[in-house]
């Protein structure tokens, strides 16, 4: 699935939180946000696409998820935070190359053909990962280990990047071919940017096969690389991107420009992004996997990064004067289903640590609403979503706003930006109020009340901006005529 990921280490965030966020860019997938009750979790899981059956452990934990409303192609839970305040976002589809695929092919479902063949299940995939991993892990590192075991046992049907976070650490994991994997702990002072490409650009095998403090990988990864002549590095350093990744024309219009755009946001003055002497261009293959940002980031910054469309550059699809507009794939695109941003606030009591900033549809126009995750249920404004268009839930109201505002971007964007800032500001105010109230009293039964207030505010603000943008859009209709009937 085409997505964009941002990971913020705790020393790179404004309050010491770990933050992981991702745009989930399906084919206009209709999404909702729910809480999964562990009592409803079955011991056996079977995927819809790959027909893979997995036996699950006992004692799953409660967790949030952003599943697809239609279950035709499976759960696709996307992201969530569990009762142990461990978060996951799964997955970022990444690239690879024919050498890797030839050495360790992906494990794809093969249906029964004729009387003498059997159905062969495929491997684990994006459809499954949140469901079979998140309820069973109590740390980010544990998440890597559990998923690694599943991939080694069942294989995987696709190349994916997965982020796990807890209150201290973020781990980033990338799959390699059908059965191999590599993982790295995100440096605490850095921000990782991932635009649908194999990302990691350095790796320490000594640590991976020693203390495993910052690096982990498949037990046979060294031999796999050596025996299949995968290493293209010629400077003595092991750059995983050169070994397992790609360097295609497609990357230069679809992937690397997004990394360039996010890098500009993180380091606007210390790195030269423009002109003939630029350190990096939109088509550079060596844009770093992570940066020490010039200033610390909050969840609102992650939302901004995941909404970028090359503002202030010649590539902005909404700029009338941009001579190369639309030639590169934007981050905030029309087919995004959901953009969850998981924040684990280590400085708060356990009951208040998990906050998920939820944003539906195109992130360029939609707002990001914070909600507490340590609850047994969520408001209907987030959960009661069907395949029918309506203004009665956050998903469809957000989708409608984007559809109305996009054709009249110049006239409507000010109203949209006021709306986005209003949701963020009032959301902050409500959370600050309830944070203080619950931390002081120890009455954490107010969590669901706080979420109801947050959603009621979001409903009001979204209705108001829809009213305004409908008026703007109606005035721009092609069949308008100035002469009055009166």
Catalytic residues: 3
Q: How is residue 87 written in tokens?
A: 């978060």
Which residues are CB-neighbours of 385 under 8 A, at least 6 positions away? 30, 31, 32, 69, 393, 395, 396
Q: How is residue 10 written in tokens?
A: 């705790």
| Angle of CA points 338, 358, 4, to nearest 5° | 45
Alpha helices in 209-248 (DSSP H): 221-227, 240-244
Closest CA to 231 of 96, 94, 99, 98: 99
Rounded CA-CA distance 80/32 in Å is 12
Specify whether the CB–CB gap between 24 and 3 falls below 8 A: yes
Specify whether the CB–CB gap between 5 and 92 falls below 8 A: yes
Rounded CA-CA distance 25/41 in Å is 26
Q: Hey, is 302 helix, strand or coil?
A: helix
Peptide bond into 106 cis (omega under 30): no
Which residues are CB-neighbours of 370 under 8 A, at least 6 positions away? 299, 343, 355, 356, 357, 358, 427, 428, 431, 454
| Angle of CA points 386, 134, 366, to nearest 5° | 40
Pairing of strands 87-93, 160-165: antiparallel
Pairing of strands 44-46, 79-81: unpaired
Which residues are CB-neighbours of 221 under 8 A, at least 6 positions away? 176, 180, 182, 205, 208
Peptide bond into 77 cis (omega under 30): no
Phi, psi of 372 (to 5 degrees): -75, 140
């Amino acid at each position: 699935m085409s997505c964009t990921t941002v990971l913020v280490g705790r020393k790179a965030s404004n309050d010491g939180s770990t933050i992981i966020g991702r745009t989930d860019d399906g084919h206009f997938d209709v999404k909702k946000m729910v809480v999964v009750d562990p009592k409803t979790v079955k011991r056996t899981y079977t995927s819809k696409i790959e027909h893979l059956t997995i036996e699950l452990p006992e004692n799953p934990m409660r967790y949030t998820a952003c599943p697809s409303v239609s279950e035709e192609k499976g759960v696709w839970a996307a992201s969530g935070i569990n009762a142990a305040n461990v978060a996951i976002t799964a997955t970022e589809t990444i690239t690879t190359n024919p050498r890797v695929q030839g050495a360790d092919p992906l494990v794809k479902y093969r249906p029964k053909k004729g009387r003498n063949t059997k159905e062969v299940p495929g491997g684990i995939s994006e459809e499954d990962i949140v469901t079979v991993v998140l309820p069973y892990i109590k740390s980010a590192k544990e998440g890597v280990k559990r998923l690694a075991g599943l991939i080694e046992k069942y294989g995987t049907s696709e190349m994916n990047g997965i982020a796990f976070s807890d209150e201290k650490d973020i781990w980033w994991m990338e799959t390699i071919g059908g059965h191999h994997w590599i993982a790295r702990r995100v440096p605490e002072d850095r921000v990782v940017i991932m635009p649908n490409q194999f990302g990691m650009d350095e790796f320490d095998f000594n640590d991976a096969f020693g203390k495993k403090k910052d690096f982990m990988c498949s037990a046979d990864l060294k031999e796999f690389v050596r025996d299949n002549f995968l290493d293209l590095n010629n400077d003595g350093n092991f750059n995983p991107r050169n070994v397992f990744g790609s360097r295609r024309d497609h990357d230069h219009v679809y992937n690397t420009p997004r990394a360039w755009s996010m890098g500009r946001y993180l380091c606007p003055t210390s790195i030269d992004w423009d002109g003939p002497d630029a350190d990096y261009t939109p088509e550079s293959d060596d844009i770093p996997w992570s940066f020490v940002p010039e200033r610390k980031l909050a969840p609102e910054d992650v939302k901004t990064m995941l909404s970028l469309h090359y503002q202030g550059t010649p590539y902005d699809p909404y700029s009338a004067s941009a001579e190369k507009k639309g030639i590169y794939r934007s981050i905030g695109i029309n087919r995004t289903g959901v953009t969850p941003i998981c924040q684990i606030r280590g400085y708060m009591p356990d009951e208040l640590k998990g906050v998920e900033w939820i944003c539906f549809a195109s992130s360029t126009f939609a707002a990001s609403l914070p909600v507490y995750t340590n609850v047994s249920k969520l408001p209907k404004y987030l959960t009661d979503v069907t395949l029918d268009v309506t203004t009665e839930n956050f998903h469809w109201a957000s989708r409608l706003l984007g559809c109305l505002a996009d054709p009249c971007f110049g006239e409507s964007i000010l109203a949209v930006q006021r709306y986005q800032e209003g949701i963020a500001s009032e959301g902050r105010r409500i959370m600050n109020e309830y944070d203080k109230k619950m931390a002081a009293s120890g009455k954490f039964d107010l969590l669901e009340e706080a979420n109801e207030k947050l959603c009621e505010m979001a409903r009001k603000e979204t209705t108001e901006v829809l009213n305004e943008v409908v008026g703007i859009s109606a005035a721009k209709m092609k069949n308008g005529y100035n002469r009055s009937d009166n």
